[in-house]
Each structure stands twice: as structure tokens, then as C-alpha cells.
Chains A and B, each alone.
Chain A
Amino acid sequence: MLFTSYEFIFFMAVLLVLYYLVPKKSQWVLLLLASYVFYWVANPAYLLYIGVTTVTIYFGALKIEKNLNRQTEYIKLHKEELSKEEKKEYKKQQKKIRFRWAALFVCLNIGILAVVKYTNFFLTCLSPVISLFSGNEGVSVVDLLVPMGISFYTFQAVGYLVDVYRGTIPAEKNLFRFALFVSFFPQLVQGPISRYSDLAETLYAEHSFDKKNVAYGLQRILWGYFKKLIIADRIFAAVSTILTNQEEYQGAYLVVGMIFYTIQLYADFTGGIDVTIGVAQTLGIRVQENFNLPYFSMSLKEYWRRWHISMCNWFRDYIFYPVSSSNALQKFAKFSRKRFGESAGKRLPVYVASFVVWFSTGLWHGANWNFIVWGLANWAVLMISEELEPLYAKFHSKVNVKETKWYRAFCMVRTYLLVCCLNLFDCYSSVTDTFRAFKSMLTTFNWQILWNGALLKVGLSGLDYIILAFGVLVMSGVSIVKCKTGARDFVASKPYPVRFAVWFGLFVIVLLMGTYGIGYDSSQFIYNQF
């Protein structure tokens, strides 16, 4: 059951009515049932996977917390008898036990994710070795079920377990409440990856019918549908035509295709999150924002603070910081200082930790080398930018342009084009094809396609371009408004006829001009495969 289907609209209508009719203390139970129905309709077999993750992480967290409580009690009870050294040693031992439990359940669940998502990738990588021993050419792929959203809910559950291990949150005592945290249906499609400390309170609270929440939630859903059906699904036709046929479409076509893909990705992903946050808001539940005007970024570093925020924060807190502060990397830091001097010695450990993060981020995005290369390309650009910082600082000390509008505009356009280029690695499963595309962009000069009508033969009509231009303009306008105030607040501050015109107009536009069933599964959001 996917967000842009009639089944989902019916599901939400029924859920909303029931949600505000049932006793408030049972609302979370209804949500749990709804989430499992949502997942069951997608595929009943998925329930086994999410069930295993839920139960194992739930028991793991309780086990860890029980150990921590026992430790605290023991220290309290034997406060006078134990020396400082003995207390330290006891705490160290108990922490080791807790670490082993945490590691067991994290490895189990990441292992499940690894097996269902990456078995074929590993088999393909090991194929030459396997063939050598088996005598067969190549290996057969394994047909494994990949539960919808497994990357999202696994990371969300693992994050919770690590937070319990760190002592920053208490373990959830109620298995069913915990099951809701893992399976909350709006997040199953594309995230965001929520933290227990952010989501739990709002998820389990009792919610009265609030006209503003329901209205704003529905508006947000409609806005998500606009981005998805007016822009993303429409522009996909051209993206698909151009980028799946490199023989025919070269040079300027590829530049256009690359830019169109970035527009599609933005509209699709942020549109999906709009629907997620909107659905949650209609239920009175606050889900954290996952995007913050990413194309207004002045650098790639800033872009990764504004794009897919929950994923970036997850990798920062659960991979980057643990790797950076590990004994191994601290020893490497000492070695780097002695070997390469203070300046390089300071930077190398950061670069190594970042490498691990970006390799993992690439791998998380997809079970193929092009995604890993995408991750490492981001890493390379970020590291080069760090190395060039002294040069930039020197430039800005001599040329006073940093705060000028045109320099800021230049930085935004530069970052946008850089992101477009990096995103191209998403489009081709072969990395060679991506580099071939870049070469073609730089060596084939066929810019006449922009005015000779060639772009009307790539799956988009003149009317489609007009609608797309309108859609992108509206999307950009809303982003500019959001720089100062909330877009819905902005509309809500206008007279009633204006408000009615905006929302009714948007509804009609989505109904009449939305792209429905163009031969591409229009109900799939790009990130749904995760």
C-alpha cells in the first residue's frame, strides 16, 4: 500500500475517523494495528522480519538496562567497602558485559539487513574466487525477499539500542509500544530515521482532535503529492529516456538528464517525506524534518547538513563519532602526529573516520559499486574542500566578496551543479558508464538541442515542460517563503478566499495534471527500495 494509491487514501480516511473516536489511551494501540496492517498489505512475509528486529532489540535493551541498574545498586550498596580502584574495575567489567549484549543484537539485526540486501552483491564481488574453486563460470543470484523500509527501521531500532547502552534513554518496558516505535507506518516507506528520544513522547501521547493539526497535516500531504505527481513522476519520463540510452543521447542531453534527475530526486524524496510528516501531523504526532532547503547550500558540507538530515545524524552519532574516538584511531592519531607532523596528524584521523562513514553511506544506499563510488566521491570532495580551506581563507582576506549576493549565488549554483554530478552515480549501475557520461558532457557539443525541438522527443510534450516549469517555480517559491516563515503559516495568514484558492487550486492541479501510470510504477518513491 503506497502513499499515492487509492488504498492508502481510504486507509488514512478510516484510520483518522477511528483514531479520534477510540479512547485516547488506546490511540497508540490503534496505530500499532494500522502499522501492521499497512505492512501486511505490502507483503505478509515482511512481518516476520520486522517482528524479529522488534523482539530482539526490545529484549536486548531490557537486558542492558537490567545490568546497568544492577551495577548502580551494587556500587550504592558497597559504597564504603569498595576502593575507588575496585569500583572502577567493577564498572569496567559490567560495561564489557553490556557491550557484548549490545554487539550481539546490533550484529544480528545488521546481519539480517546485510543478508537480505547484500548477499547478491557479495556473491558478485566474490564470483571470480568462487568460480576458481567451483569450476563454474559466474555465480547464480539468490532470490531473497527485501522487506520494504528494512534499512530505515533497522537503523532506527539499532540507534535506540545504542542509546540505551549509552544510558541516554531508558529502555521501553512495553513490547507493543516498542513495536509501534519500530513499525510506525508513515516512516516505513522512506524514513526519516527517528530517535526514540524525539519520537516516543509524541507517538504514545494522547491526542485530541486539533483542527489546525489535521488541516496542516492534510495540506502537507497535498504538497507532497504535488511534488511527486506533478514534478517527479512527470520529469521521470525524460530522465529515463535520456539516461538509459547513452548511445543515442550524448553531450548536452546528458547534462539535461543529469539536472532533471536531481529535480526528480528532490521532488520525489522531499515529497515523500512531506506525506510522511503530514500523515503524522494529522494524527497529532510530530516527526522531525528531514530536509532544510538543501539547494540553498553554499558548500557540499552544508548540503549534507540539510539533505536527509536523519540519515546524516545517524551516521555521525553511531559510526563517525565511535570510529573517531576508538582506541585504534586514537593510536593512529598519535602515530600520524609523530610521522607526518602536527598539522597533517590532526587531519588524517578525521579523514579516515570520514572514509568509513562515506563508504558505509554509499553501501547503505544500494547494493552495488556505483553507490559506494558515489559515497566515496562525496568523501573526496569534502576532504579536498577541507584541504583548500586555508587557500579560501587567504582569498577572502584579500578579496572582500564573501557577504555579497552574487558570491552567495555563485556558491549555491556551484554546490547545486556539484550535487548534480555526484548524483549521476545513482543513475548507472556501471561506474564506467557514469564516467563515460561525464566525458560525453565535456566533449560532445550539441547545445542546439535546447532550442531545435529535440527535447520534445524525450518523453515530454510542450505542455509537460510548461507544467514542470510551473511546478519548479512554485516549489522554489515555497522554499524562499520557508526561509522567513512556515509556508502553511504564510497561507494561513491570508484572507479566507486566498487560502481556499491556494489549497483547492493545488488539489485540482494534482487531480488533473498529476502523472498517473506512465509505464513507470508511479506509486514507487525512489527511496522506497531502502
Chain B
Amino acid sequence: METLLEILADLHPDVDFTKEDKLIDDMILDSFDIVTLISEISEAFDVTITAENIIPENFNSAQALYELIQQLEDEE
């Protein structure tokens, strides 16, 4: 989770990702951020996020994103 929070903070240093749970709904993360995130997460966690996984539910909070990563790690 720490690694993920570092990645997110690098994108938007001014956002408190431990508290925010509407990252997509409030447009804190836009589509460019998501694509950058996919690439960073793939590098850091060695998982593959596909287009099917890119839904607001998976990206609205750091916790949701971490759960996605764990799910993908289990599947691979």
C-alpha cells in the first residue's frame, strides 16, 4: 500500500490519497492520470491492468486500487 501511495502522491502531491474516495467521480484523477497509473503499477507490482479493469469502482480510492492489484496478483 505504501508503494501505491507513493505512486499516487507523485502524480498529485497535493491530494490526500488516504482519505479521498471519489478520485474519479470528483475528477481528481483524469484519463491521463489513469494511463500513467496503469504503467506505474505494472512496473511496481508486476501485474497487468486491462481495459476491463478500468472502471470508476476500481479507481475511486487508493484502497480500491490496492484491492484490484491484490486480486490481479492472486490471478497471475
Using a CB–CB cutoff of 8 Å, the interface residues on chain A facing chain B are 88, 166-168, 301, 305, 316-317, 320-322, 324-325, 327, 330, 333-334, 337, 346-347, 349-350, 353-354, 386
- The stretch of B15-23, B40-48, B61-69 in contact with A is B40-48
The answer on a CB contact under 8 Å between B54 and A325 is yes
Instruction: Given A320-B31, A350-B32, decide whether A333 and B54 contact each other with a Cβ distance below 8 A.
Output: no
Give A333's nearest chain B residue, CB to CB.
Answer: B39
Total A-B Cβ pairs within 8 A: 53
The answer on a CB contact under 8 Å between A324 and B55 is no
A167 to B42, CA, bound (A): 23
**Interface flag for B35 (CB, 8 Å):** yes
SS of B interface (majority): helix
Residue in A305, A321, A327, A333 whose CB lies within 8 Å of B51? A321
Give B75's nearest chain A residue, CB to CB.
Answer: A88
| Residues of B contacting A334 in the complex (Cβ-Cβ under 8 angstroms) | 43
The answer on a CB contact under 8 Å between A330 and B42 is yes
Rounded to whole Å, the gap between the CB of A185 and the closest CB of chain B is 31
A324 to B36, CA, bound (A): 9
A301 to B49, CA, bound (A): 25
**Interface flag for B52 (CB, 8 Å):** yes
Residue tally, chain B, CB below 8 Å to A: 20
A350 to B27, CA, bound (A): 18
| Residues of B contacting A320 in the complex (Cβ-Cβ under 8 angstroms) | 31, 35
Using a CB–CB cutoff of 8 Å, the interface residues on chain B facing chain A are 27, 30-32, 34-36, 38-40, 42-43, 48-52, 54-55, 75
| Residues of B contacting A325 in the complex (Cβ-Cβ under 8 angstroms) | 35, 38, 48-51, 54
A346 to B38, CA, bound (A): 10
The answer on a CB contact under 8 Å between A168 and B32 is no
SS of A interface (majority): helix
| Residues of A contacting B55 in the complex (Cβ-Cβ under 8 angstroms) | 168
The answer on a CB contact under 8 Å between B39 and A349 is yes
A347 to B36, CA, bound (A): 7
| Residues of A contacting B50 in the complex (Cβ-Cβ under 8 angstroms) | 322, 325
Q: Can you list 7 A-B pairs with a CB-CB distance of less than 8 A? A: A167-B52, A321-B51, A324-B39, A325-B48, A327-B48, A346-B36, A350-B35
The answer on a CB contact under 8 Å between B54 and A386 is no
Give B40's nearest chain A residue, CB to CB.
Answer: A346
The answer on a CB contact under 8 Å between B38 and A324 is yes
| Residues of A contacting B51 in the complex (Cβ-Cβ under 8 angstroms) | 166, 317, 321-322, 325
